[in-house]
Structure 1
Amino acid sequence: MFVLELSYTAPLDAVDAVLPAHVAWLDEQYAKGVFLASGRKNPRDGGVIIAVAGDRAWIEEITAGDPFVAAGVCAYRITEFAATKTAPALERYREQPG
């Protein structure tokens, strides 16, 4: 499982100009089953996405396709973790300690 932290690297008006394309990209990732949750940080200086994927390289490829990245308005920090405990609704994503 991965935590993707977005940090805006441009003023909010530049971010907002790309927001519709970013939301469409988010919708695609949800439809593929990659993203589990996402939203803006408070204060609004970026966002957070919880994702599942086979490996880090795949997540890096996915985030590189974000229109925010293409427009140069955000940078990603990717943190991988083993979800050994989850809420019941996320039970299928639990991992065994290894």
Structure 2
Amino acid sequence: MFVLELTYTAPLDAVDAVLPDHVAWLEEQYEKGFFLASGRKNPRDGGVILAVAEDRARIEEVVAGDPFTVAGVCAYRVTEFIATKTAPELARHRQTLG
């Protein structure tokens, strides 16, 4: 599982100009099963996404397609972790230590 932390690198007006494309991209990733939760940080200086994929390389590929990344208005920090405990709704994403 992955925590994707977005930090805006441009003024909010530049971020907002790309926001509709970013939201459409988010919807695609939910439909494909990559994203479990997402939202803005408070204060609004970026966002956070909880994601799943077979490996880090696949997540990096997904992140590279974000319109925010393409437009250069944010930077991503990708943190991989092993989700050994989850809420019942996320049970299918539980992992075991290898």
Tell me the TM-score range normalised by the shorter chain: over 0.9
The alignment partner of 1:57 has SS state of helix
Distance 1:97 1:15 in 2: 39
TM-score of the aligned structures, taking structure 2 as reference length: 0.99
State the aligned residue count. 98
Identical aligned residues as a percent: 80
Task: Supply the RMSD in Å over aligned alpha carbons.
Answer: 0.3
| Letter paired with 1:33 | G
The alignment partner of 1:77 has SS state of strand
| Letter paired with 2:96 | Q
Distance 2:65 2:25 in 1: 8
| Letter paired with 1:50 | L
TM-score of the aligned structures, taking structure 1 as reference length: 0.99
Structure 2 portions without partners, runs of 5+: none
Tell me the equivalent position of 1:23. Answer: 23
Tell me the equivalent position of 1:7. Answer: 7
Tell me the equivalent position of 1:93. Answer: 93
Distance 2:64 2:96 in 1: 29
Q: Which runs of 4+ in 1 moved over 2 A?
A: none
Structure 1 portions without partners, runs of 5+: none
Distance 1:93 1:31 in 2: 16
Tell me the equivalent position of 1:39. Answer: 39
Tell me the equivalent position of 2:80. Answer: 80
